Amino acid sequence: MIVENLFALISILPLPFWGAMLLFPRAGLTRRMVTSPWPFIVLGAVHALLLVAALATAAPAELGLSAVAIRSALGQRWGFLALWSHILILDLFAGIWIFRDAGYWRVRPAPYLLATLFAGPLGLALYLYLRQRHERHDPVRNLN
């Protein structure tokens, strides 16, 4: 039961950021949210706690670097939660980067944010492809 509740909590924590970027992209609160390091500090601490719990409850055979050991460790409840938080945090990081970078290029970020929210790396890849096309026409390349 605790794992299900933690799964729900971890899944909900990034949603205010996604909602703000998608629904209120010009709001001052959204700007403050996407420029603050605190969400990642908090989410990183949650991830670290889950990772410690996963390592503490893993059997010694699950602590190797082989594919079998990692699959076994991630298949446990704490390992799964650590992996899930890792995925959500990196997707949020990519989404915030897209949101901030799109302002420089004057690109509407919503389609890429939705793709990143639901398909992670695919949304980032689509945005990077679009960005590359815009960069060709800009004499000053932004290494962001």
pLDDT digits (tens, 9 = 90+) for 35-66: 999 999 999 999 999 988 888 887 776 677 78
Buried-state track 25-58, b at ≥16 Cβ within 10 A, e below 16: beeeebbebbeeeebeeebeebbeebbebbeeeb
Distance between CA 40 and CA 143 in Å, rounded? 22
Q: What is the pLDDT of residue 70?
A: 79
Residue for token digits 């970027």? 21
Query: What pTM, to 2 d.p., does this model score?
Result: 0.87
Number of other residues whose CB lies within 10 A of the CB of residue 10: 20
Helices 77-105 and 15-23: crossing angle in degrees, nearest 10, is: 20
Distance between CA 75 and CA 122 in Å, rounded? 24
Q: What is the pLDDT of residue 135?
A: 75
The DSSP code for 3 is H
Helix (H, G, I), strand (E, B) or coil at 27: coil
Query: In angstroms, what is the C-alpha Rg of the chain?
Result: 18
In the structure, what pLDDT confidence band is assigned to residue 67 with cuts at 50, 70 and 90?
confident
